[in-house]
């Protein structure tokens, strides 16, 4: 599963640009400065070759850790019963580890919808639950509610509703959304409070722990761990590079 050095270098440079402020880890949209600002802030210097080499080495080491986990799982086991979109037989699997209470995950969800709409015939998109329970008290209940909606084949519309109403997460919203999309509410409540719901979330959390993930959202594209803050609007180009890399191996 070795990758061309060019891909690792691309990711390494992206990480460095994010760290020095040339790209934002919290907002992928360029914002014009207020008209009242007379002076333009000085731009950070681009990373030097030594910094790029160090970041590239770190990316490679981190990727090897991920490969060790992925090599121990076949495709079906890795995907499990997780919600998916796109081509079930696509060679490239894109995985998002996500938290419904994380504001960055909500932004990424919008970008991923556009990405899957555009490239869904080339990838299988998989959602994995990664509620950061220590800082987001409603993250796990929201995950279990979305899992319950999935038991009635309505995960993605429910997922959209949770992110659109992120400031209202709680039991009242979970039931309200279930009613709005026409779920059997009695079954929904039974499912979201079930051992099976907890087990599904715990399984994804265990996988995230194996992969040593420590924040959200985190992405895997074709087994490639994407660094935090890598702009999701760059995923299409990254997919092209990954597919080109696979054809030359």
Range of the domain at 221: 5-20+51-248
Give the per-residue pLDDT at 27. 37
pLDDT at 16 over 90: no
Which CATH number fits the domain that encloses residue 97?
Answer: 3.40.30.10
* CA gap 33, 197 in Å, rounded: 46
DSSP state letter for 234: G
Sequence-distant (6+) residues with CB within 8 A of 52 are: 9, 12, 13, 16
In a domain, 45, yes or no: no
Q: What is the pLDDT of residues 130-189, one digit of tens each?
A: 999 999 999 999 999 999 999 999 999 999 999 999 999 999 999 999 999 999 999 999
DSSP string, 94-113: EEEEE-TT-HHHHHHHHHHH
Chain mean pLDDT for the chain: 84
Give the per-residue pLDDT at 207. 97
Task: Give, for 73, the enclosing helix (H) or strand (E).
Answer: none
Does 61 or 90 have the greater pLDDT score?
A: 90
At 133, is the secondary structure helix, strand, or coil? Answer: coil
Residue with tokens 């309505």: 154
Give the per-residue pLDDT at 43. 58
In a domain, 85, yes or no: yes
Q: How many CB atoms lie within 10 A of CB 3?
A: 20
Contact 108, 98 (CB under 8 A): yes
For the question of whether the overall pTM of this predicted structure is more than 0.85, the answer is no
Residue with tokens 């995230």: 208
End-to-end CA distance of the chain: 9
Does 135 or 232 have the greater pLDDT score?
A: 135
Residue with tokens 């061309």: 4
pLDDT at 226 over 60: yes
pLDDT at 126 over 50: yes
Q: Which residues pair with 57 in a beta bridge?
A: none
pLDDT at 45 over 70: no
In a domain, 34, yes or no: no
In a domain, 43, yes or no: no
* CA gap 221, 125 in Å, rounded: 9
Give the per-residue pLDDT at 24. 36
In a domain, 33, yes or no: no
In a domain, 66, yes or no: yes
What are the structure tokens assigned to 152, written together? 């009635």
Q: Which long-range contacts (CB under 8 A, 24 or more apart) does 18-21 make?
A: 18/227, 18/228, 18/229, 18/230, 20/44, 20/45, 20/46, 20/47
| pLDDT bucket at 2, cuts 50 / 70 / 90 | very low
In a domain, 26, yes or no: no
Q: What are phi and psi of 94, to 5 degrees?
A: -110, 125
pLDDT at 29 over 50: no
In a domain, 178, yes or no: yes
* CA gap 225, 1 in Å, rounded: 13
Q: What's the average model confidence in pLDDT over 65-88?
A: 95
Q: What is the number of domains present in the chain?
A: 1
């Amino acid at each position: 599963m070795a990758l061309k050095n060019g891909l690792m270098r691309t990711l390494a440079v992206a990480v460095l640009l994010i760290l020095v402020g040339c790209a934002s880890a919290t907002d992928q949209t360029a914002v014009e400065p207020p008209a009242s600002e007379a002076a333009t802030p000085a731009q950070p210097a681009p990373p030097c070759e030594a910094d790029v080499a160090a970041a590239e080495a770190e990316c490679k080491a981190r990727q090897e850790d991920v490969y060790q986990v992925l090599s121990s799982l076949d495709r079906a086991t890795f995907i499990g019963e997780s919600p998916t979109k796109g081509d079930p037989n696509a060679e490239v699997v894109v995985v998002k580890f996500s938290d419904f209470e994380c504001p960055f995950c909500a932004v990424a969800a919008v970008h991923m919808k556009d990405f899957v709409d555009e490239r869904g015939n080339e990838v299988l998109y998989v959602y994995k639950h990664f509620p950061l329970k220590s800082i987001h008290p409603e993250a796990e209940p929201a995950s279990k509610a979305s899992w319950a909606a999935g038991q009635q084949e309505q995960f993605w519309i429910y997922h959209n509703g949770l992110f659109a109403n992120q400031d209202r997460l709680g039991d009242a919203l979970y039931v309200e959304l279930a009613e709005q999309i026409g779920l059997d509410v009695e079954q929904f409540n039974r499912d979201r409070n079930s051992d099976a719901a907890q087990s599904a979330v715990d399984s994804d959390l265990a996988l995230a722990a194996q992969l040593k993930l420590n924040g959200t959202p985190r992405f895997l594209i074709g087994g490639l761990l994407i660094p935090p803050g890598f702009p999701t609007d760059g995923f299409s180009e990254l997919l092209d590079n990954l597919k080109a890399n696979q054809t030359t191996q």
